[in-house]
Amino acid sequence: KKNAPIVISTWDFGVAANLAAWEVLKNGGRALDAVEQGVMVPEADLKNQTVGKGGFPDRDGYVTLDACIMDEFGNCGSVAAVENITHVISVARQVMEKTPHVMLVGVGARQFALENGFKEENLLTPESEKAWKEWLKEGEYKPIINIENQRFSPNKLPGNQYNHDTIGMLALDANGNLSGACTTSGMAFKMRGRVGDSPIIGAGLYVDNEIGGATATGVGEEVIRTVGSFLVVELMRQGYSPEDACKEAVERIIKKKPEKAKEIQVGFLALNKNGEYGSYALQQGFSYAVCNQEKQDTLIKGKSIY
Ligand code: SD4
């Protein structure tokens, strides 16, 4: 495989996450281990307020995390609405490996995590609590992801109007196998109990080892509605390049909700079996990180419709 190993991930913080994944890949390690190790970096980063510990809480003040993982055999694991556990990606992996199920949610997912040695932690940092209290003052519940994140995210890129910061990561290892991971604290100040696309297999993430993988970021509702990541992989199966597949998936969102699409952000990122990659987003400001033998810290500005 000339373009393997390679790892790509969403947003500017994908650079640091890729480096951790690269430690696994460069030694001939498995893509599944690489993506888990990779996304654990933003999960543990307290300054990152959209993934893992330090994430923004829901509108009632609870930090709830969503994550999923998928391997080269089509195995997958997922957790949603988990509180007090930092590395939900690892919990998702254990759901995949130790249970006959794909998805565990809420208190049951946390109980499973605790039984498997994960430690309970307070995930709400003073900074995120402060941002939530500021948000509460306005009292108006607007379930539009970009409005909140735009105002509070420290990860804002220059000129980035719409900042959505789920990490989705896709890797192709030296053996030519693909895996993917996706983890998030979800929409900032979301309704209690709200789950987005990120832990939904086929929506926030999909991997088919014959074809490629895809992951999504942005307003999860629109991604779920269009089964976005599965769509991107199926389009690649029909011969679309990763970029063209992502573009078509974004256009599907516009076709379904033309007015809404102008106001929200959704971005897709894809990697195929040959190690070719691409992305497309509704709005400007999407970025993704690429890491391979040649260069480990590439950050690419994503193309967009608007
Ligand atoms: C969600 N797609 O929960 C995720 C959110 C995201 O900033 O990308 N977040 O809908």
* C-alpha triplet 259, 167, 33: angle, nearest 5°: 145
ipTM of the shown complex: 0.95
Average pLDDT over residues 77-99: 98
Q: For 11-58, what is each residue's pLDDT tens digit?
A: 999 999 999 999 999 999 999 999 999 999 999 999 888 999 999 999
Candidates 166, 184, 217, 226; catalytic one: 166
- Residue 3 Cα, ligand 1 centroid: separation in angstroms? 30
pLDDT at 69 over 90: yes
In ligand 1, the atom with minimum distance to the C-alpha of 149 is 7
Query: Which residues have C-beta atoms less than 6 Å from ligand 1?
Result: 50, 145, 149, 164-166, 184, 186-187, 196-198, 217-220
Compute φ and ψ for 279, nearest 5 degrees.
-150, 165
pLDDT at 247 over 50: yes
* Sheet-wide strand order for 277-281: 205-208, 212-218, 266-272, 277-281
Q: How far apart are CA 206 and CA 216, in angstroms?
A: 9
Rounded to whole angstroms, the Cα distance separating 15 from 288 reads 8
CA–CA dist 199, 181 (Å, integer):
9
Q: Which residue has the tokens 């209290």?
A: 133
**What distance in Å separates the CA atoms of residue 69 and residue 133, rounded to the nearest whole number?**
33
Q: Report pLDDT for 139.
A: 60
Is 50 one of the annotated active-site residues of the chain? no
* H helix count then E strand count, the chain: 10, 12
Ligand 1 mutation target, pool 164, 189, 201, 282, most atoms within 8 A of CB:
164
The secondary element (H helix, E strand) that includes residue 218 is: strand 212-218
Average pLDDT over residues 97-104: 98
Residues 183-195 have a mean pLDDT of 94
Ligand 1 pocket test, pick from 145, 152, 200 with the greatest ligand atom count within 8 Å of Cβ, gives 145
Dihedral in degrees, nearest 10, Cα atoms 240, 243, 244, 245: 60
Residue 9 has φ and ψ, to the nearest 5°, of -155, 160
